[in-house]
Amino acid sequence: MEQKKIPTRDGFGKGLLKLAEKNQNIVALEADLGKSVRTEWMRQKFPERVFNFGIAEQDMFVTAAGLASCGKIPFAGTFAIFTERAFEQIRNTIGWGNMNVKVIGSHGGILTGEDGASAQTVEDVAVYRVIPNFTVIVPADAVEAEKATEAIAKHNGPVFMRLTRSGVPIIFDDSYKFEIGKGKVLKGGEDVTILACGPLVSESLKAAEFLEKEKIKARVVNISTIKPLDGNLVLKCAKETHAIVTAEDHSIIGGLGGAVSEFLGENYPVPLERVGIKDKFGESGSPAELYKKYGLTAEDIVAAAKRVIKRKKH
């Protein structure tokens, strides 16, 4: 039976509404895309605390910084690609000012599908990783997105959280505890470690099942916080399995693969394979078609795991 799939943006919308019911300082800002980003759910119940700026993202993010300076906790959301339109404002008012603003980027990655290259961000995680003071989060499913929304509201400082348009398999249940900066081992194994984020976590779990049938034991780790990276866990996995695969619906440059490469290069070099988008833009197509074309399927992760195991020093 196929796993239930829910967009991670739905988990965000649910978490935001819960927060708004408990805390009067929670406010939401939208740029004509409240229905898509799910801030509309909060607007339906608390219209006086949700502000629509139209297609004026730069205005929205500067205003969010102003609200944060007055003690509010603003969640400013739009498509991830449209947050980049306001890069200077986000960098100079939110990042440089270390303002308590939560930047919500929905429709991240090529999982966005038929909307095509102009709407599919393949570089957003890299963009926010390099802004000082920012925390960067990519939830694996809608449950984690909901839990992460609650966690980032308690975190004092700027956050970028990337969400999906399309449904992704549910991995966690309501007992799951999310912690900023901490990865989670989802499956044990000593032959290779697969570090994944976002929709590629479920693909990695599927890949581990395929590998197990070939007597290859793959460890699967959900790295939902890209910055700060859980270096202790990455180091532990590298020392115990001596082979790493990263998997993400994002460019292999600057995202999870980049972060892990940088960390291991400086701390404990081991063979590494990066599954992700290889310095290309996306295109229009169904998510399944695009994942196959761009090499983001469970089968692609299996192939990467086999390659990296061959490179291990025995």
What is the amino acid identity at position 225?
A: T
3-state DSSP assignment of residue 2: coil
DSSP string, 115-140: G-TTT-BSSHHHHHHTSTT-EEE--S
Catalytic site positions: 57
What is the amino acid identity at position 205?
A: L
Cβ within 8 Å of residue 291, ≥6 positions away = 110, 111, 203, 249, 297
Q: Which residues pair with 160 in a beta bridge?
A: 103, 136
Alpha carbon distance 223, 264 (integer Å): 15
3-state DSSP assignment of residue 238: helix
CA 14 to each of CA 22, 44, 229: distance values in angstroms, whole numbers, following the listed order: 13, 12, 26
Question: Strands 135-137 and 225-227, how do they pair?
Answer: antiparallel
Q: State the burial class of residue 215 (Cβ atoms within 10 Å of its Cβ: 0-12, 13-18, 19+).
A: exposed
